Amino acid sequence: MSEFRIYHNPRCSKSRQALAILEEAGISATIIRYLDTPPTAAEIAEIAQMLDLAPLALCRKKEDDFITYFSEADSLSDDEICDLLAAHPKVIERPLIIHGEKAVIGRPPEAVTALLPK
């Protein structure tokens, strides 16, 4: 079985709930504290592709960093958005759960169940 990864913020209740769902299912995921170890722009682009979303859709638009650094987001390319997300990981939607070639945003946390083995 391919590995599960979770881009996790332990201070976020939704992130903790999604991790708990994995653990209750017996899944031992690799936990990536993305604020301490931000994903690269290339990793963000790959995750966005797995989600079938534009990178801008991975942004938490109410975050102060989004307001500060992404003011021109609508006129930026996907690559530029990925670069900004890598530089300002607080803006990345959380949690992100990856399994193989599939990914989900864990909002609501129960979304993670879509990746669990049947």
Which residues does the annotation mark as catalytic? 12
Place of tokens 């881009």: 7
Cα 83–Cα 86–Cα 91 angle in degrees, nearest 5: 110
Nearest to 48 by CA among 17, 25, 31, 40: 40
Distance of CA 38 to the CA centre of its chain: 10
- Which residues, in sequence order, are CB contacts of 37 under 8 Å at separation 6+? none
